[in-house]
Structure 1
Amino acid sequence: TGYDIIFFWVSRMIMASLEFLDEVPFRDIYITGLVRDRQGRKMSKSLGNGIDPLEVVDRYGADAMKFTLCYMATQGQDILIDMDSFKLGSRFANKVWNATRFILMNLEGAELLDAKSVGRTTLDRWIYHQLNNATKRIEGAMANYRFNEGAQAVYDFFWNDFCDWYVESAKHNLYSEDPAQKSRQVTLLLDLLASSMRLMHPFVSFISDEIYSQLPNVNDELILARYPIFDPSLVDEEAATLVRSMQEAVSGVRALRADLSLGQERKVRVAIKPDANFNGRSFFEEQKTLMATFVGASTLEIDDQADPKGAVPAAGSGFESYLYVGETIDVKAEIAKIEADLVKNEKALQAVMKKLGNEQFMANAKAEAIAKEEAKRLEFEQKIEKGTNHLALLGSFL
């Protein structure tokens, strides 16, 4: 129930039950937040700021509406939404559909095996560890009525762990000409997909049910399937630590590329220099082709003697990555371009600041116009800061 009607509804039910039945009708009461508009106003007919759920379903789908509300329903807080808020659930639903379609499109030539008996690599053990962790998070969230944390656990696992990392890493085996490798990979992907549908069924009921009914590795109905529970045998901290190190290395190089405005079409040589006591060296060596794909590298080597000269470094936990930018771009031309952009952005910022400093404008302009200028100010300040940092990085090569 909502906190605004605790007395009018909950209290009266308890008093009436005690009076007439001599018993307490319930022990747990879940107090929901109020759904308000983006300005924090309570939705009402007089304000005309209500959202018709049927319109949301027509535009985005029932699952998108339910998932968005669940994701945003932080315990003890009101929900501020408008129609665009439901794009969150819609994007997640599309991600689920697209990942499923990709897997089902690549079944040809594969034989379904017993998922529990096939050999598992470090990445396979990691993804089952992550699925198990998500299951545990959801168990705790549901037991404590923290439905938003349950929805976030589903989102984090499926979007980040499964799609962004595991499915991408599985593509090599999916496209393999070795039938045994492809069969092993397809078996595990379908098993993970089935488990994911069971896990997310309370949050996106219709999509998960439709997908589950199309999977060739299940023969029951999702509504009757056993909900996943935490399995201690799937805990694998060693695999989790190794993959976290790989993710850190990949994210570090990607961040450098973004700082240097290097598009994915520009391939750069990368070297990773592990510390003497780094436990992930052999795993990095095994996965260097995959890591090269993730970071858009022309080549990626694990080199104990990597030379930092001519490279931009990125520190990691137990290793250091080197991005050899000087071999890829014309540093002087890039610096000249950035300096020209900085001059342009500084002039634009001065114009905006002059406008915001004009007392007549500030006194007469509408709030929307002032907000627009403030947004421009922030945009130009960010561009100048990014350009200045970019110059400092490139300046080290001269």
Structure 2
Amino acid sequence: MLEKTFAPQEHEARLYSEWEQRGLFACDPQSPAPPFTIMMPPPNVTGSLHMGHALNHTLQDVLIRYYRRNNRDALWQPGMDHAGIATQMVVERNLAAEGTSRTALGRQQFLDRVWSWKEESGGSIVNQLRRLGTSPDWPRERFTMDEGLNAAVRKVFVDLHKKGLIYKDQRLVNWDPKLRTAISDLEVEQREIKGHLWHFRYPLADDPDSFITVATTRPETMLGDTGVAVHPDDARYRPLIGKFVTLPLVGRRIPIVADEYADPEQGSGAVKITPAHDFNDFEVGRRQSLETINIFDNEARINDAAPEKYVGMDRFDARKAIVADLEAGGFLEKIEDHVHMVPYGDRGGVPIEPWLTDQWYCDAATLAKPAIEAVESGRTKFVPANWAKTYFEWMRNIQPWCISRQLWWGHQIPAWYGPDGTVFVEETEDAAAAAARMHYGGNQTLVRDEDVLDTWFSSALWPFSTLGWPEETPELARYYPGDVLVTGFDIIFFWVARMMMMGLHVMDDVPFRTVYIHALVRDEKGQKMSKSKGNVMDPLDIADRYGADALRFTLISFAAQGRDVKMSEQRVEGYRNFATKLWNAARYCQMNGVRVDPAFDPASARLPVNRWIIGKAAEMAHQASLSLEQFRFNDSAGAIYHFTWGTFCDWYLEFTKPILNGSDQAAAAETRAVTAWVLDQILHNLNPHMPFITEVLWESTGDRDRMLISAPWPEYPDNGYGDGDVGAEIEWVVRLVSSIRTIRSEMNVPPSARIPVFLRGASDETRRLLESHSQLILSLARASAVTADDEVDTSGCAQAIVGEATIVLPLADVIDLDQERARLSKEISRAEAEMGKLSGKLQNEQFLAKAPEAVVEEQRERLADATALRDRLRSALDGINPT
């Protein structure tokens, strides 16, 4: 017998261990079934589970569980990313606590320490994913730094280099002066800073008493200025184009150039150009053939390319000194308060510098062309489709990809330098040495490039490197390309696009057929979760309190395409209550002798109520499955939820109580068999969403030869056991009873009060239905009698329409009608006042312009709720005839 309540903590660990031990998550490369592949976005080895991870991996798990049971050889390929900067920082902090550093250890000893940390402490997120109930093929887990993936990285790098698609160049990069490495755009966060805008006068070289004024938020970079730009159509400066100014404090003559980058409406309309320290200026400098002067070292201190006075100064100390010197020299025109965005490194926590340096680059523009075409032609589709626009926008404007990082933890670049600087790019040191002998005519000492590759480079190879490439493995032939990638919109460019580029280049095929982009998980008010706001929800804490199933089902239920997930503990509690409802229903079935009969044929059912529920169950299953296949996760969850709670628990089980307690043994036996079959369909369809409670109930409701996780997915006939006439008949009873219950609820009729129910204007068919189901209606509607009567006196009655008939409920002797009218009128006025307040706010253009989108959406939802409430109250009031 089932326990009185479902205690998730007593079952989850046991079931998960059993699933793993039996190998029920495994794919089978020898299977005759068609494959279905999902590549797990590899979480960082330093990571811990947050609500975004919980959503992403839950959605993947729902898909893999569904297709695994639908006769597909399903591979969910797991793994972790080495997370270059993040991991190196963790280990460096540990070393600092010990009083040492990576430089003190040296490269090899430091790397040994990182590997040791990874084995002992890294990858805790994998166990956290297990806690969530996810079911990847864990024995196939890969790591972006394991030897197989390292071989793949080296081979791709060498291949691209030999084809001219990887090269070394001097360009601007995002430089983190604290970590002393280039970082990707994804690792840069923009912060709003209250700063200043300094206006400086640059004297004309041939007329020192005349000036051109420029404005800047970064005075320290003026030491590297090599030009001043004005718009070619700006009449104020047209006579100055081609002339020179003398750079204050430095004395360098720099030209005034015409470039459309200068905005006549901004500041003075003239802008200083510092090609070595601003991305836009760098492009202007290239167009205008301006000199590029780097005035920072790798820690953002002034280097010896600047006047001696400032050499060695930190950039912010130099800023103060330069402003003071410009003011003393009469070059400072004014200082304005100015709020602007400053880029910070998300790991180092300091402002990044656009810095000119030699780095390795990948020719992303060439690689992007086939990746663009693949999405244009539909070989890979985005869901929702609008994300393809984002993909195209990024890919069609793609810049060279800086793939080198000045770290020690990562894939070391397979490049060796000879004594004269000649570079030899090969997969191994021996191959590089052989190439050097050919070049020099003898042995030479080679020095390997110290840089490592951007983490995204190895991640870009994930869909095929994890399957054994560059070896021709059975897994590679069978599971590439994948069927679907589930990921967030924030890494469409950084990861999705790069996998597309590399997959097409290396494998000559797209890495996945569908990219499903899920939204953000926000708090219940629609705000982004952040520690500073104090609104972060820990998924593990939620799972501990309410069970993993409740957490999963909440995330799935709100995962509507194109809409962010609004998460709250109350919503999780609500779906925990859904699990309780299902558990109680299963207990009720068990107590009434309901047990699965494997030989039962649903098509053999004869009782109308049983034929009705069988058809509704098949309809639910069809809708739930179709929704999953179309990535409408919330619709799948909704179909199961409403059928289980409403149709099965609230209606069918109530409908069948008289049958189970009656004297007709054949009817009772059929009803028990149907109840067991329908409960089974609920467990089958709910299983991918809530794997734990469904597995427990599956164990207890029949003699099973396998666990639910591996049971074949149920099949239904084309008509889904549908019987339109029977369905319409029972649905009429549901509508009638629902209408009566609504009237009782809205009118505050005491639950214990049994009142007569009359139907006016009932057709012959309605009268037949009323007679056929009178006992059921009496019971469920708490009615003392139910009668078709066209002459009933309607004074003091509440009324509602069902079909062609009017329901009439005499209430004068049960409630105070005048008091009820007054109450309803007051509630209507209150709802209309709320509607007016909300409508006014939503019609206020200033509110709409300034309020965050989430706040505006919340106000719209509140207005819709208030309107619906007003309409229900009006309907209730209109239903009371005047006495």
Q: Does 1:292 align with 2:292?
A: no
Choose which of 238, 247, 250 in structure 1 pairs with 2:725: 238
Measured after TM superposition, the shift of residue 258 of structure 1 is: 2.4
Q: Given that residues 546 and 576 in structure 2 are in contact (C-alpha distance below 8 angstroms), is that contact kept between their aligned partners in structure 1?
A: yes
Q: Given that residues 110 and 183 in structure 1 are in contact (C-alpha distance below 8 angstroms), is that contact kept between their aligned partners in structure 2?
A: no
Q: What amino acid does structure 2 have at the position aligned with 1:329?
A: V
CA distance in 2, matches of 1:307, 1:130: 36
Larger mean Cα displacement after TM superposition, 304-313 or 241-250? 304-313
Choose which of 619, 623, 628 in structure 2 pairs with 1:133: 619
Aligned identity (percent) is: 28
Choose which of 567, 572, 583 in structure 2 pairs with 1:86: 572
Question: 1:353: which partner in 2?
Answer: none
Question: 2:735: which partner in 1?
Answer: 248
Larger mean Cα displacement after TM superposition, 3-12 or 15-24? 15-24
Deviations 1:194-247 (A, max 9, x none): 121111111111111110111136544312222134423401121222122222
Measured after TM superposition, the shift of residue 21 of structure 1 is: 3.1
Q: Given that residues 627 and 633 in structure 2 are in contact (C-alpha distance below 8 angstroms), is that contact kept between their aligned partners in structure 1?
A: yes
Q: What amino acid does structure 2 have at the position aligned with 1:253?
A: I
Deviations 1:355-392 (A, max 9, x none): xxxxxxxxxxxxxxxxxxxxxxxxx9999999998777
Q: Given that residues 798 and 881 in structure 2 are in contact (C-alpha distance below 8 angstroms), is that contact kept between their aligned partners in structure 1?
A: no
Deviations 1:44-82 (A, max 9, x none): 445443221110111110100111100000011111213
What is the correspondence of 1:241-390 to structure 2 with a 5 Å cutoff? Answer: 241-273=728-760, 275-276=762-763, 279-301=765-787, 303=788, 305-310=790-795, 311-326=797-812, 328-329=813-814, 331=816, 334-335=817-818
CA distance in 2, matches of 1:56, 1:330: 44
Q: What amino acid does structure 2 have at the position aligned with 1:36?
A: R
CA distance in 1, matches of 2:785, 2:503: 73
Measured after TM superposition, the shift of residue 396 of structure 1 is: 2.0
Larger mean Cα displacement after TM superposition, 32-41 or 172-181? 172-181
CA distance in 2, matches of 1:24, 1:346: 60
Deviations 1:269-293 (A, max 9, x none): 11224533x5343232111111112
What is the correspondence of 1:75-154 to structure 2 with a 5 Å cutoff? Answer: 75-107=561-593, 114-116=600-602, 119-154=605-640
- C-alpha distance 246-6 of structure 1, shift in aligned 2 (>3 A): same
Give secondary structure in 2 for the equivalent of 1:279: helix
- C-alpha distance 105-342 of structure 1, shift in aligned 2 (>3 A): same
Deviations 1:327-354 (A, max 9, x none): x3365xx53586599899999x99xxxx
CA distance in 2, matches of 1:340, 1:10: 58
- C-alpha distance 257-45 of structure 1, shift in aligned 2 (>3 A): closer
Structure 1: which 5+ residue stretches go unaligned?
A: 351-379
Q: Given that residues 799 and 880 in structure 2 are in contact (C-alpha distance below 8 angstroms), is that contact kept between their aligned partners in structure 1?
A: no
Measured after TM superposition, the shift of residue 160 of structure 1 is: 1.1
Q: Given that residues 595 and 672 in structure 2 are in contact (C-alpha distance below 8 angstroms), is that contact kept between their aligned partners in structure 1?
A: no
Question: 1:165: which partner in 2?
Answer: 651
CA distance in 2, matches of 1:225, 1:344: 52
Q: Given that residues 612 and 723 in structure 2 are in contact (C-alpha distance below 8 angstroms), is that contact kept between their aligned partners in structure 1?
A: yes
- C-alpha distance 22-109 of structure 1, shift in aligned 2 (>3 A): closer
Larger mean Cα displacement after TM superposition, 303-312 or 381-390? 381-390
Larger strand percent: 2
Give secondary structure in 2 for the equivalent of 1:27: strand
Q: Does 1:156 align with 2:642?
A: yes
Q: Given that residues 756 and 786 in structure 2 are in contact (C-alpha distance below 8 angstroms), is that contact kept between their aligned partners in structure 1?
A: yes
Q: What amino acid does structure 2 have at the position aligned with 1:266?
A: A
CA distance in 2, matches of 1:389, 1:133: 31
Q: Given that residues 594 and 676 in structure 2 are in contact (C-alpha distance below 8 angstroms), is that contact kept between their aligned partners in structure 1?
A: no
Root-mean-square deviation over aligned CA pairs: 3.6
Give secondary structure in 2 for the equivalent of 1:29: strand
Structure 2: which 5+ residue stretches go unaligned?
A: 1-486, 834-865
- C-alpha distance 343-254 of structure 1, shift in aligned 2 (>3 A): closer
Q: Does 1:209 align with 2:692?
A: no
- C-alpha distance 45-32 of structure 1, shift in aligned 2 (>3 A): same
Q: Given that residues 594 and 675 in structure 2 are in contact (C-alpha distance below 8 angstroms), is that contact kept between their aligned partners in structure 1?
A: no
Larger mean Cα displacement after TM superposition, 221-230 or 25-34? 221-230
Give secondary structure in 2 for the equivalent of 1:30: strand
Question: 2:207: which partner in 1?
Answer: none
Q: Given that residues 747 and 820 in structure 2 are in contact (C-alpha distance below 8 angstroms), is that contact kept between their aligned partners in structure 1?
A: no
Q: Does 1:198 align with 2:681?
A: no
CA distance in 2, matches of 1:77, 1:330: 45
CA distance in 1, matches of 2:518, 2:689: 17
- C-alpha distance 49-237 of structure 1, shift in aligned 2 (>3 A): same
Q: Given that residues 827 and 873 in structure 2 are in contact (C-alpha distance below 8 angstroms), is that contact kept between their aligned partners in structure 1?
A: no
CA distance in 2, matches of 1:216, 1:109: 6
CA distance in 2, matches of 1:319, 1:393: 14
- C-alpha distance 300-220 of structure 1, shift in aligned 2 (>3 A): farther
Q: What amino acid does structure 1 have at the position aligned with 2:768?
A: S
Q: Given that residues 338 and 387 in structure 1 are in contact (C-alpha distance below 8 angstroms), is that contact kept between their aligned partners in structure 2?
A: no
- C-alpha distance 141-393 of structure 1, shift in aligned 2 (>3 A): closer
Larger helix percent: 1
CA distance in 1, matches of 2:629, 2:603: 33
Measured after TM superposition, the shift of residue 395 of structure 1 is: 6.1
- C-alpha distance 83-325 of structure 1, shift in aligned 2 (>3 A): closer
Measured after TM superposition, the shift of residue 121 of structure 1 is: 1.6
Q: Given that residues 335 and 391 in structure 1 are in contact (C-alpha distance below 8 angstroms), is that contact kept between their aligned partners in structure 2?
A: no
Q: Given that residues 314 and 321 in structure 1 are in contact (C-alpha distance below 8 angstroms), is that contact kept between their aligned partners in structure 2?
A: yes
Q: What amino acid does structure 1 have at the position aligned with 2:732?
A: S
- C-alpha distance 50-122 of structure 1, shift in aligned 2 (>3 A): same
Q: What amino acid does structure 2 have at the position aligned with 1:268?
A: I
Q: Given that residues 63 and 204 in structure 1 are in contact (C-alpha distance below 8 angstroms), is that contact kept between their aligned partners in structure 2?
A: yes
CA distance in 2, matches of 1:221, 1:201: 11
Q: What amino acid does structure 2 have at the position aligned with 1:152?
A: G
Deviations 1:305-338 (A, max 9, x none): 4524444332221222221223x3365xx53586
Q: What amino acid does structure 2 have at the position aligned with 1:95?
A: K
- C-alpha distance 288-217 of structure 1, shift in aligned 2 (>3 A): farther
CA distance in 1, matches of 2:708, 2:596: 24
Q: What amino acid does structure 2 have at the position aligned with 1:65?
A: L
Question: 1:10: which partner in 2?
Answer: 496
Structure with bigger gyration radius: 2
